[in-house]
């Protein structure tokens, strides 16, 4: 209920590439187990969030090292690997539907990812169409496990456990211990200077994982139980992967984690400013035009971090803040901190540094015990905060969470009515915010060049991929042609909802 990007449509990996980015293709290593006519072939389909996309690219890198070739279509593969999402009911349904569709191709089907990790043998028992259900601990040997699947050898389904128990309670003791625990997105241990990752698309935007897991105990969220405790990646490792991404076509780095404001807390005292120090290093990498940070916890967002994001050259003045609600009573039941006034103060602090900064959030309405006064308090916050994008989600129980046991549950029809009420307010407020940008100038990263006759499309600094709207670029005979990956200075001339209509500045070019 808190992740608008989690239930995204399946993304099939496409291996075909050309031009200067061709180095990102899979390097197929001949394998003794390969068919004499062709190498073993695998299709990857990814559901869910940007973190899952990073995990899929890591899996592609592992499979390349194990002699597997990536196939664009499942019909051309020996195995279809579905990287599932399991955060909310709609995402779980999408994952099951995608697994069934993969099975309909007649190919072997393997489930990995969050739903597989969270439900394991329960999923395997209820979905015999899947030839294997593998957890995170299978990732290191995924190539061999796929060999078993193709050969018809049975693999015991993953047995779920609370992954928070795999690492020490104290964050500063985790860096050493994490080398012995499989943490998706942290696969560089033992690979030396090589980046264990293969890009699966030609997008100028690349997600870059800076940490995994979460130490917070939000009463509505099951993520820590199957993603584990919070673990930061080392800065040098992140910078090395960022440079590799730049060499392979990335223009914007999208920093992802379950909680980016905790980055570096497991480094000890030296980690208190780790993210602030990392950002300029990433922004200085040749070829990188913009660095974007996602998923900030308001209660952990320090003034120094606000300043770093708002003022560091090359870093998008963009704040993805997980407010979730603004009523103190509801926030306490969520096991979170804050209030309408403290959140409004944070948004004002951001705009003191950067008046045009983008701020987005998600909110949950209909939480157990939420009153009309609580909802009015949320409306007061949304009206005063002038946010650029807001995801509105109705509460529903999640397996194994504390909130599942709470009293004061609202009738689903009442939850739906509140979702509609807040969504209508959000639609009006965010459209007003977009309209306020008319007459200002924005730097647009071109993601679709319009070569097919449609308008060129891109995103400004306040717009993250897929969730925050886009910029439609008006072109005429005097406009220089733009290519995907160009960063173009534009004037905002109109708006449509959260989308902007922009015109290249007179001196704009490649």
Q: Which amino acids are annotated as binding site for [4Fe-4S] cluster, given as ranges?
A: 49, 85, 114, 214, 218, 221
Ramachandran class of 28: left when φ > 0, alpha when ψ lies in -120 to 50, beta otherwise: beta
Which candidate, 444, 448, 506, places its Cα nearest to that of 476?
506
Using CA of residue 278, residue 282, residue 285, residue 289, what is the dihedral sign? negative
Rg of the chain over Cα atoms, rounded to whole angstroms, equals: 23
Alpha carbon distance 336, 465 (integer Å):
27
- What count of Cα atoms within 13 Å lies in the side-chain half-sphere of residue 239? 15
Helical residues (DSSP H) of 3-126, grouped into ranges: 50-65, 89-104, 114-119, 121-126
CB 204 within 8 A of CB 211: no
Which candidate, 126, 188, 189, places its Cα nearest to that of 157?
126
- What count of Cα atoms within 13 Å lies in the side-chain half-sphere of residue 163? 30
In 3-state terms, what secondary structure has residue 262? helix
Alpha carbon distance 72, 50 (integer Å):
20
How do beta strands 40-46 and 11-12 pair? antiparallel
Ramachandran class of 456: left when φ > 0, alpha when ψ lies in -120 to 50, beta otherwise: beta
CB 272 within 8 A of CB 308: no
Alpha carbon distance 48, 184 (integer Å):
15
Secondary structure element (H or E) that encloses residue 240, with its range: helix 235-247
In this structure, what token pair is assigned to residue 139?
């990732």
Residues annotated within the binding site are 49, 85, 114, 214, 218, 221
Residues 6+ apart with CB under 8 A from 46: 10, 11, 13, 52, 53, 56, 83, 200
Place of tokens 């004499």: 36
């Amino acid at each position: 209920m808190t992740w608008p990007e989690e239930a995204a449509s399946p993304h099939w990996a496409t291996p075909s590439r050309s031009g200067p980015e061709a180095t990102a293709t899979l390097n197929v290593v001949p394998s003794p187990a390969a068919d004499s006519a062709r190498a073993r072939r695998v299709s990857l389909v990814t559901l869910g969030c940007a973190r899952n996309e990073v995990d899929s690219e890591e899996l592609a890198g592992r499979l390349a090292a194990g002699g597997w070739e990536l196939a664009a279509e499942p019909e051309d593969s020996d195995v279809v690997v579905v990287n599932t999402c399991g955060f909310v009911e709609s995402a779980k349904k999408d994952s099951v539907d995608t697994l069934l569709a993969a099975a309909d191709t007649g190919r072997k089907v393997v489930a990995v990812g969050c739903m597989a990790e969270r439900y394991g043998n329960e999923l395997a028992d209820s979905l015999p169409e899947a030839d294997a259900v593998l957890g995170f601990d299978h990732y290191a040997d995924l190539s061999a496990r796929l060999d078993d699947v193709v050969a018809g050898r049975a693999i015991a389904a993953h047995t779920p456990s609370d992954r928070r128990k795999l690492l020490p309670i104290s964050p500063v003791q985790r860096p050493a211990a994490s080398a012995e625990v499989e943490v998706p997105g942290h696969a560089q241990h033992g690979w030396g200077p090589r980046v264990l990752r293969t890009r699966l698309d030609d997008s100028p935007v690349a997600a870059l994982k800076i940490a995994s897991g979460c130490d917070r105990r939000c009463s509505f969220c099951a993520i820590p139980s199957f993603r584990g405790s919070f673990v930061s990646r080392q800065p040098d490792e992140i910078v090395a992967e960022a440079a590799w991404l730049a060499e392979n076509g990335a223009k914007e780095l999208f920093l992802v984690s379950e909680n980016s404001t905790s980055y570096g807390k497991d480094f000890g005292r030296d980690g208190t400013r780790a993210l602030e120090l990392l950002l300029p290093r990433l922004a200085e990498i040749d070829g990188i035009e913009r660095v974007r940070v996602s998923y900030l916890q308001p209660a952990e967002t320090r003034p120094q971090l606000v300043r770093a994001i708002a003022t560091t050259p090359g870093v998008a003045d963009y704040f993805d803040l997980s407010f979730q609600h603004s009523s103190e009573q509801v926030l306490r039941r969520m096991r979170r901190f804050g209030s309408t006034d403290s959140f409004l103060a944070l948004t004002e602090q951001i705009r003191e540094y950067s008046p045009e900064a983008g701020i987005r959030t998600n909110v949950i309405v209909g939480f157990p015990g939420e009153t009309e006064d609580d909802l009015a308090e949320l409306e007061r916050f949304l009206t005063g905060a002038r946010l650029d994008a807001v995801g509105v989600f109705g509460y529903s129980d999640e397996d194994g969470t504390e909130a599942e046991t709470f009293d004061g549950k609202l009738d689903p029809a009442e939850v739906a009515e509140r979702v509609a009420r807040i969504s209508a307010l959000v639609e009006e407020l965010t459209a007003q915010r977009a309209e306020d940008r008319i007459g200002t100038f924005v730097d647009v990263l071109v993601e679709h060049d319009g070569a097919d006759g449609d308008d060129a499309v891109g995103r400004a600094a306040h717009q993250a991929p897929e969730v925050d709207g886009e910029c439609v670029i008006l072109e005429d005979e005097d406009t220089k042609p733009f290519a995907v990956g160009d960063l173009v200075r534009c004037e905002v001339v109109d708006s449509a909802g959260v989308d902007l209509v922009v015109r290249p500045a007179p001196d704009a070019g490649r």
